[in-house]
Structure 1
Amino acid sequence: MSVLIIAEHDNQQLNPATLHAVKAAAGLGEIHVLVAGSNVAAVAEAARKIQGVAKVLVAEAEYYRHGLAEELAALAVKSAEPYRYLLATASAFGKNLMPRVAALLDVPQISDLTEIVDGNTFVRPIYAGNAFETIQTSSEKVVLTIRAAAFETAAAEGGAAALEQVEAAAEQKLSRFVSQELIHSDRPDLGSAKVVVSGGRALGSAEKFNEVLTPLADVLGAAIGASRAAVDAEYAPNDFQVGQTGKIVAPQLYIAVGISGAIQHTAGMQDSKVIVAINKDPDAQIFNIADYGLVGDLFEIVPQLTEALKA
C-alpha cells in the first residue's frame, strides 16, 4: 500500500505543513508527494529531500499556479489509481481540496486526524476537542486530512526521493483566480511557530493590542495570535485568529493574554506544550488548562515580563 500526499506550497517554497503530513503518513506505506504548480523546481527539490519520501510527482501547468481546488482535484483523481491513501493537511488548502477529491472518487474522507493508529483506524477530535472518536474503515481507498499540529515534522534534509514528471490533467475552467491580498511579516508563521503570544478582547483596542503584545512577541521571536472576540472587535486581522474557526496551533509555548478561555478558543491551542495565562479574573476558564497562571492587570504584567526577558 502507498500514500499520495498533496503538497502545499506557493510555487517557490514548500509549506512546512507538508513535513507534518509526511510524518503522519509514515506508518501507512510508501510515501509519494504530488507537487503541482507552475515553475515549481525549487519546491520539488525541497520535497525530494524530505526523509521518508520515496518519490515526488511533478505536474506543471499555468492553471495550477494558484492552487485552485477545481484544477488540483482533477489531477489528484487522475493520479489516484495506485494509492490507497490520498492525504493533505487540514489547512484551508486541504479543507478546500480534499472533499472534492473524495467526492469525485466516490470514496470516504476522514478529516482532521490527530492520530493514525494503523492503516484502518484513525482518531479525530469532536465537540470542539472535548472528546475524540476512533474511526475504522475497510474502504479500498480513503481520503485523509491531518491536523498538522498533532504530528511532529519529518526531517527536511537527508532524503533522496526519485523525481517523476507527470502529465497535467485537462484544464477544468470551473473557477478562475482574480486576486489575493497577503499579509507579509517577518514573524514566524502562526501555524508552525514554536512560540505564540495571543491577545483577547480585554486588551481594549487595536492600539493597545499592538502596544502590549508586539514588544513581548519581539523578545520571544514569537508569532502573534488572537481570540475570535479580539478579531471580531477588529483588534487583529482574521489571519491571527486561533480557535475552532481559526487556526489550530500547538507551539512549545503559548501565552494567552486577556483571553477568558472559551471553548471556541481553547479548541485551537489546548495541545500547546506549555500554556501561560495572564488574566485579572482568577476564575477565568483559561486557568483550567494553563500550566502557569498570572492573575492581575495585563497592562502591568506584560510590560514587566517583557522587560525581565530583555534583561
Structure 2
Amino acid sequence: MSHVYVLVEHDAGQLNPVTAELITAARPLGVVSAVVVGTPGSAEPLAAELGALGAEQVIDAGAADYDSRLLLPEVDALHALGSANPAPIVISATEYGNEIAGRLAARLASGVLANVIAVNADRTATHLLFGGQLETVAAAGGACPIYTIRAGSVTPVPQAASGAVAPMQLPAATAKDAAVVNFTKAADADRPALSQAKAIVAGGRGVGSEESFGAVVEPLADALSGAVGVTRDVADEGWYDAKYQIGQTGETVSPDLYIGVGVSGAIQHTSGMQSSGTIVAINQDGDEPIFQIADLGVVGDLHEIVPALTEELNSRK
C-alpha cells in the first residue's frame, strides 16, 4: 500500500493547526506517517491527536541536541525515511518549510512543488498563478516528490487512524550544523496569528495613517477577537509591521470573516485572502476592485463606519 510522510508542525507540546491541513492534503497519496522532529519523546503527547487527524503512524524522530540546532534535524529525519522507504513528502509552505524542502530535494534527487494548494492521487499538485487568476497542475519527478502546502488552502477533514508511535534516533550535530547559542522567545501576541484567526480586519492605504490603525482597525479586530492584517502598501509605508502583510508576498489566509478597511483590492493582496468565508469591504470609493469579490460592501467614510461598528459589537458582549 502506498504511503506518504508529513512533517508535523508543533511547538511547546502543541500541534500547529496547519498540521491538520497537511494530513488532509496528503491523504490522497496514501497512508499517512506523521513525522515529529524534536527532542526524544516529543511525539508521545501529540500521538492521539495526530491519530484522530488521520495519521496511521507517528514517527518520533528525536535528537537530544535538537534545541541547539536549526533545519538539519528535520532534513536528516526525512532524508533517512525517504532513503530507506521512498514515498512522497508533505511540508508546510513556510520560509522554514520551503528551506527544508529544497535541502531535502538535493539529498533525495527528487523534485519539489512549492506553495501548492492541493495534492492529487497521481502525485501531481495544483498551483494558483497570477494572483489566483490561473490554476495549473504540475508533477515532480523522483521517488520522493516533495510538496509544500500553502496554509489556509485545505479544509481539515479528520479521519481516525491508529496513530501508533515509532521511535527514530537522529544523528548528533556535525560541523555542517548551525549551533544556536542564545534564544529569546518572542513575546506572546494579544491577538491570534493570521494563519489561525477566524476573523481578520485588514487595513489598506485608505486607512490614511499609522495612527488610524490604533484608532480604527485594531479596536474592530479586538471586538471580533480577531487578527489585524495589512496590504503591501501599508507595510511599505511603515504604518504596520510587515509580518502582518496578506498577499502574494505575505501570508495566505482563509478566515471565516475578512473585513477590508480602506483596502482597494489589488491582486497582490486579494490573492492571499480571496478564499475567506465571508468578505466585507468598507471603502469610500465604491468602484474599488475589492467590491467585486465582497459578499457585503459598505461605501462611506471608514472613520465613521468602523468605530460605530466596533461600538455596536462591544455593546452586545
Calculate the TM-score normalised by the size of structure 2: 0.90
> How many residues are paired up?
310
Residues 29, 123 of structure 2: 8 Å contact kept: no
Deviates more, 1:167-176 or 1:99-108: 167-176
Structure-2 change in CA distance of 1:43 and 1:214 (3 Å)? farther
1:258 corresponds to 2:262: yes
Distance in 2 separating the partners of 1:136 and 1:163: 31
Q: Which residue of structure 1 aligns with residue 200 of structure 2?
A: 196
| Structure 2 counterpart of 1:302 | 306
1:97 and 2:97 correspond: no
Task: Decide whether aligned partners of structure 1 residues 206 and 184 sit closer, same or farther in structure 2, where only a CA change above 3 A counts.
Answer: farther
Residue 10 of structure 2 is aligned to residue 9 of structure 1? yes
Partner residue of 1:168?
Answer: 170
Amino acid paired to 2:196: S
Q: Does 1:69 pair with 2:71?
A: yes
Query: Over aligned residue pairs, what C-alpha RMSD do you find?
Result: 2.2
Whether the 8 Å contact between 2:86 and 2:143 is mirrored in structure 1 is: no
Q: Secondary structure at the match of 2:263?
A: coil
Map 1:50-129 to 2 at 5 A: 50-65=52-67, 68-80=70-82, 81-129=84-132
Q: Which residue of 2 aligns with 1:229?
A: 233
1:132 is matched with 135
Partner-residue secondary structure (3-state), 2:120 = strand
How many angstroms apart in 1 are the aligned matches of 2:241 and 2:48?
31
Question: Which secondary structure does the structure 1 equivalent of 2:74 belong to?
Answer: helix
Residue 101 of structure 1: CA displacement? Answer: 0.8
Relative to the length of structure 1, the TM-score reads 0.91
**Distance in 1 separating the partners of 2:85 and 2:239:** 48
Where do 5+ consecutive residues of structure 1 fail to align?
A: none
Contact 1:195 1:253 in 2 (8 A): yes
What SS does the aligned partner of 1:50 have? helix
Identity %: 35
Partner Cα separation in structure 1 for residue 210 and residue 202 of structure 2: 13
Q: Is the 8 A contact 1:274 1:291 kept in 2?
A: yes
Shift of 1:47: 4.7
> Structure 2: how far apart are the matches of 1:70 and 1:183?
26
C-alpha separation in 2, matches of 1:251 and 1:54: 29
Unaligned runs of 5+ in 2: none
